[in-house]
A and B are shown apart, each in its own frame.
Chain A
Amino acid sequence: MAESNPHFMNGVPELLILQVLKEREMYGYELVEEIRRRSGEVIAIGEGVVYPVLHALERSGALASRRAKVKGRSRVYYQLTPQGMARLTGLSGTWERLADAIRQVMGGTAHA
């Protein structure tokens, strides 16, 4: 039986942020737009709410940030660290197990 996971819902923004930042560094607005675009606008993370998650991930060492001027505007770019990569792997695994379990309950087929 899978362990109960208190981050089942709360960890979703964190998982999506880490996944999107796996490919390249981004600033907050860009990140929110990318998640919205990739999820077909089904998932729209609260726009201002994304920053406390980013800051918490940075404090925990999962992300690193740098400030840069782009077209006269100050941007804070976030990028994944090796520690963040390990965290993403862990979160993805947990999420896939939970998704499989939910599919089974709903009557679908699970992965082997």
Chain B
Amino acid sequence: MLDDLRQLLLREGVKPAIVGRYVAELADHLEDLNDSGSPEEALRRLGTPETLAAAVLAQPGVRSWTARAPWAVLTLGPVLALILGCLLPTLLLFLGVRAFASDLDYGRAAEPGTWPYLILNGLFVFNEHLLPVLVGWAAVAIAVRQRAALGWLLPGILLTAILGGGLFLDVAWHTGHPADIRFGIGLKFADPFTTMLGRSPESVCLNLVAILAPYAMLRLRAARNA
């Protein structure tokens, strides 16, 4: 009965934290009622899932952002997360080099072996191959956890895969003077079948498969359990 209530509330868009706490307290209450009477009487006194759900839905502020504005959380959210996730760490590194690498000759900062070079290359690999998939998985996890419909999730995943396959950062600090350092962000795709990984249509397809695979598995598992 409590699991029916949980599913009902999540489908209605109630915040998972509120649902979790409510169901946990109802379980405690049900144990107390069971101590004082029969299980049937305990369930009757507790109320039906519909009555209990209606009591929660009557309260203000219980619905999640995913329920109130799915376009913002599931479509716009992943795109913004991808851009910020790509931009912010690199921008921090860029500012770090300016602030703390004054002992490094700017001509040497981009040479292999220096710490800015190592971190920057790590960030490039992370941004190209991991970040789009992690952002996509986060969107999928939110949608599955809150029983959201596919309508707003699919465009979000598609945009994440496309942007993740072509987003690039342009960082240069080798021109010899701090004022000449360049930092930018853009979208660029290589010609198809000219590169296996990174900024190519193939990369978009790989992102899409990597993001959708766990979603498909979770949906299949949920369908089997239903």
- Using a CB–CB cutoff of 8 Å, the interface residues on chain A facing chain B are 27-29, 46-49, 51-53, 55-56, 59, 73-76
Contact = CB atoms under 8 A, between A and B. Distances in A.
A47 B22 contact: no
A28 B28 contact: yes
B56 A52 contact: yes
A46 B28 contact: no
26 contacts: A27-B28, A28-B25, A28-B29, A29-B33, A46-B47, A47-B29, A47-B33, A47-B45, A47-B46, A48-B29, A48-B47, A49-B47, A49-B52, A51-B25, A51-B26, A51-B29, A52-B22, A52-B55, A52-B58, A52-B62, A55-B21, A55-B22, A55-B59, A73-B28, A73-B31, A76-B25
A46 B44 CA distance: 10
Interface of B: 18, 21-22, 24-26, 28-29, 31-33, 45-47, 51-52, 55-56, 58-62
Given A28-B25, A51-B22, A55-B18, A46 B55 contact: yes
B102 to A, nearest CB: 50
Q: Is the interface of B mostly helix, strand, loop or mixed?
A: helix
B62 to A, nearest CB: 8
B28 A48 contact: no
A74 B28 CA distance: 7
A73 B25 CA distance: 11
A47 B28 contact: no
Given A29-B33, A52-B55, A55-B18, A47 B47 contact: yes
B4 to A, nearest CB: 13
B28 A29 contact: yes
A48 B26 contact: yes
Given A29-B28, A29-B33, A56-B60, A48 B46 contact: yes
Nearest to B52: A48
A75 B18 contact: no
A27 B24 CA distance: 13
Given A52-B56, A55-B18, 8 more contacts: A29-B29, A46-B47, A46-B51, A46-B55, A52-B58, A56-B59, A73-B28, A74-B28
B59 A29 contact: no
B32 A48 contact: no
Which of B24, B25, B32, B55 neighbours the largest number of chain A CB atoms within 10 Å of its CB?
B25
A82 B32 CA distance: 30
Which of A28, A48, A59, A76 neighbours the largest number of chain B CB atoms within 10 Å of its CB?
A48
Contacts of A53: 55, 59
A46 B60 CA distance: 19
Contacts of A27: 28
B55 A48 contact: yes
A46 B58 CA distance: 14
Contact of A59 (B25, B29, B61): B61
